[in-house]
Amino acid sequence: MNQQQELTPGTVVEFYHEKNICTGVILGTKGQRLFVLSDQNREMNISQGRILETVGPTLDIRADRDKLVASLREISAKREELAAEIDIEDLWGLLEEEGGSYSLRELASFLFNDLDVHHLSALERALLTDKFYFQKKDGLHIPRSKEAVEQLRIQVEREALKERTLEEGSSWLREIWKTPGVVSQELSSQQQDIVEKLKDFAIAGNESEHYEFIKELFKRADLNTDPLVALQLLVNIGIWKADENILIRKFEIPRYFSENLLAYAETLVMKTHHDPVDEKREDLRHLWTVSIDSEETKDIDDAISLERLDPNTFRIGIHITDVASYVPPGDPLDIEARSRMTSIYLPDEKIPMLPTIISENLCSLIANEDKRAISFLLTVDRQGSVMETQIKPSFIRVKERLSYEEVTRRIQGGDEHFKVLYEITYAFREDRKSRGAIVLHLPEVYATVDSDGTVHIKKYDREEQSQVIVSECMIAANTLAAKFFAERNTPALYRIQGETKQENDSYGDVHPLFTLMRQRRLFAKAELSTTPERHCSLGVECYSSITSPIRRYMDLVLQRQLRACLIGTLPPYSIEDLEAIITEMNSTLPKVFQVTRRWNRYWILRYIEQENIKNTTALILDHNDRSIHIVLPDFMLEAFIPKKSNRSFVLGQLVPAKIERVKPREESIMIVLNTN
């Protein structure tokens, strides 16, 4: 505003209103407020701060109102006409190299000969319309540099594009939200960009780098700023499926293998592969060797045999597929396996550590095929006493592929072979317990999903006889490998665990599951180390993990160390190498465990939703003044329930419960306990 011009009644002024320049005449003043009649025939109360620089001329406010409005409109039209003739870029080109700063009047003098207030207003309007070339500071106008003009132009264009994207994008999303269904037409580049931002927000939520954009986009589309809304939009567009695994995307876990790696794996399978260990392998293909696994398993990395040496002496063979004979350190398959660290088994998909042509074909212990193995041989009596142990590279041939259920049926049906195997392995367990092992028989509930999306759940009993056979054989092999490494000072990875805390509270007659879950909380955290130390809950002095080289990178690494010792060569890994692998495992595996646990919970909740289950039972695990910690034994789902009454719940008590609502995507379940 021209500070030399007094703002008195009758003075014509200009001001912004709803992003438009309005012309008005002052009718009166009160402090810093002005009462103005606008050229739109509106009386307005505005602050002096809204008045533009050009002030004047004056009008007789005693005149008829219609005449005043007509005069204002005439003034405004004249100024607009003059402004349209001004080329700000030409004016800037004249002054840009000169630099300096100019008043509005000085700038106008370059354009007009006889200056009046209308010329000044016209220039001010033109400068406000085209802000690229001059910046205003302390009432003076300064020509911008060419670089600054270009940067500002890019910024303005970017903002204009953003605004257009917000307007068009919000309209598009509003329609998508109202009309679910796969979008038939090809997405425009703008829509594809919005899709990518939706993905990021669905995964990262408020931490998304696009959060502010999505927030404004959703506001204009009348949608809640919620990652689940973004997920549903992506489903409606046809980009993601309804049961999209966000956790896999969040942790950037690779699902697929590159075409180059798959081609390399196929080449490996096709070629004749010589292994220097082959000359030292013992031929154990005559043994009655069986694999025991779930019916769905295709990547079979262990098998078991039992030989009777005399009426009371047996030799148990625990045969582990020799993956290391095909995948050496530094191999492309090894590099990929190390980046993944483990296979991931989810209710609706499996993400293997190695390509399936390796994990389910070349290295899988498929029945009636000759395979390379590392065999752990234990000579024992029927009471489980171990008299001799050996570790040998071998050739084996699995005679039968059996499920856990089939083996249990054979034992219960009187099959002498498996009955003896069970008796011996059960004795292994009892021996470990005598040395401090704590065996928890916690049931596990897993979900599986059919191709049509139907969910099933299965409860696994770790005390099933076939489960005992397999678990004890694997523990025996892993313990034998750990002792082998420790006795030879071979660099190795060990699983260690401190002493279990003692339960100080007594709960009387409680549900068995309560005792097991309380006991689990007392376990010390298991860790990885390059130093052999006791694993207390297993009751062994040192313990490793070597029985799943198809599925776990640690096991593959240790198999390589073991092979080197067996043939008398230097182990491929030093202590420093193994410590680096521990660091990588500690970074990757917690993410995998979280995905596995939470995604299984999601599908169990989906099962409850699918079956419309309402009535169940809840086991009270703990409670305080605000909440009750429970587990649903039928599903092994834990939850916290707000405490709404003063009723005292007994720990370990099993009470009827009603499922009021499940929200799989939020991993939540609302439960009401029967308080009668």
pLDDT tens, residue by residue, 35-81: 999 999 999 999 988 899 889 899 999 999 999 999 999 999 999 99
Answer yes or no: do 70 and 97 share one domain: yes
The verdict on residue 604 lying in a domain is no
Return the CA Rg of the chain: 39
The structure tokens listed for 631 are 């587990």
Percent of the chain with pLDDT over 90: 76
- The tens digit of pLDDT for each residue in 120-130 reads 999 999 999 88
Instruction: Write down how long the chain is.
Output: 676
- The tens digit of pLDDT for each residue in 352-402 reads 999 999 999 999 999 999 999 999 999 999 999 999 999 999 999 999 999
Q: 131 is in which domain, residue-wise?
A: 12-144
Res 182: pLDDT: 58
Has residue 422 got a pLDDT over 70? yes
Has residue 563 got a pLDDT over 70? yes
Has residue 4 got a pLDDT over 90? no
Answer yes or no: do 136 and 156 share one domain: no
The verdict on residue 607 lying in a domain is no
Compute CA 101 distance to the chain's CA centroid, rounded to the nearest angstrom.
55
The verdict on residue 251 lying in a domain is no
Instruction: Look at 21 and 463; give whichever has higher pLDDT.
Output: 21
Read out DSSP for 17-51?
A: ETTEEEEEEEEEEETTEEEEEETTS-EEEEEGGGB
Res 386: pLDDT: 96
Answer yes or no: do 158 and 138 share one domain: no
Answer yes or no: do 299 and 393 share one domain: yes
DSSP 8-state symbol, 277: G
Read out DSSP for 468-504?
A: HHHHHHHHHHHHHHHHHHHHHT----EEEE-PPPPP-
Strands 350-351 and 344-345, sheet pairing: antiparallel
The structure tokens listed for 66 are 């219609």
The verdict on residue 247 lying in a domain is no
Answer yes or no: do 486 and 464 share one domain: yes
The verdict on residue 606 lying in a domain is no
Prediction pTM value:
0.81
d(CA 527, CA 373): 28
The verdict on residue 252 lying in a domain is no
Three-state DSSP at 671 gives strand
Residue finishing a domain among 87, 116, 144: 144
* Residues in contact with 173: Cβ distance below 8 Å, sequence separation at least 6, in sequence order: 194, 217, 218, 221, 223, 233
Percent of the chain with pLDDT over 70: 98
Where is average pLDDT lowest: 394-398, 589-593, 625-629?
Answer: 625-629
Q: How confident is the model at residue 184 (pLDDT cuts 50, 70, 90)?
A: low
DSSP 8-state symbol, 256: S
The phi and psi torsions of 245 (rounded to 5 degrees) equal -85, 95
In 239-383, the DSSP E strands lie at 282-283, 289-293, 302-310, 313-321, 344-345, 350-351, 370-381
Has residue 2 got a pLDDT over 60? no
- The tens digit of pLDDT for each residue in 519-558 reads 888 888 999 999 999 999 999 999 999 999 999 999 999 9
Residue with tokens 């006493």, as numbered in its chain:
385
Give the residue-averaged pLDDT of 332-339: 98
Number of domains in the chain: 4
Q: What is the enclosing helix (H) or strand (E) of 139?
A: none
Answer yes or no: do 106 and 216 share one domain: no
Annotate 195-217 with three-state secondary structure.
Answer: HHHHHHHHHHHHHCCCHHHHHHH
Give the residue-averaged pLDDT of 290-314: 95
Where is average pLDDT lowest: 269-273, 297-301, 430-434?
Answer: 269-273
* Strand partners for 318: 304, 376
Has residue 475 got a pLDDT over 70? yes
Answer yes or no: do 140 and 189 share one domain: no
Residue with tokens 């350190």, as numbered in its chain:
329
Residue finishing a domain among 242, 273, 288: 242
Answer yes or no: do 41 and 109 share one domain: yes
d(CA 476, CA 492): 17
The verdict on residue 236 lying in a domain is yes
Residue with tokens 């979008």, as numbered in its chain:
183
Instruction: Look at 152 and 575; give whichever has higher pLDDT.
Output: 575
Residue 255: burial class (beta carbons within 10 Å; 0-12, 13-18, 19+)? exposed
- Residue pair 105/124 in contact by the 8 Å Cβ criterion: no
Give the residue-averaged pLDDT of 139-147: 91
Answer yes or no: do 630 and 549 share one domain: no
The verdict on residue 5 lying in a domain is no
CATH number at residue 621: 2.40.50.140
Answer yes or no: do 585 and 618 share one domain: no
Residue finishing a domain among 541, 575, 599: 599
- Residue pair 542/533 in contact by the 8 Å Cβ criterion: yes
Helices 211-220 and 189-204 sit at what angle, rounded to 10 degrees?
Answer: 110
From first CA to last CA, the distance across the chain in angstroms is 78
HSE (CB half, 13 Å, CA atoms) of 392? Answer: 14
Res 419: pLDDT: 96
Q: Give alpha helix (H) positions in 544-574.
A: 553-567
Has residue 439 got a pLDDT over 90? no
In the chain, the amino acid numbered 510 is V
d(CA 302, CA 374): 10
Averaged pLDDT of the chain:
92
d(CA 559, CA 275): 14
- The tens digit of pLDDT for each residue in 461-474 reads 777 899 999 999 99
Give the residue-averaged pLDDT of 194-210: 95
∠ CA 453-456-460, nearest 5°, is 145
DSSP 8-state symbol, 509: S
Answer yes or no: do 207 and 322 share one domain: no
Compute CA 485 distance to the chain's CA centroid, rounded to the nearest angstrom.
37
Q: How many CB atoms are closer than 10 A to CB 519? A: 16
The structure tokens listed for 336 are 């990929």
Answer yes or no: do 276 and 224 share one domain: no
Q: How many CB atoms are closer than 10 A to CB 91? A: 23
Has residue 500 got a pLDDT over 70? yes
∠ CA 615-617-618, nearest 5°, is 130
Give the residue-averaged pLDDT of 559-572: 95
Compute CA 620 distance to the chain's CA centroid, rounded to the nearest angstrom.
31
d(CA 298, CA 313): 33
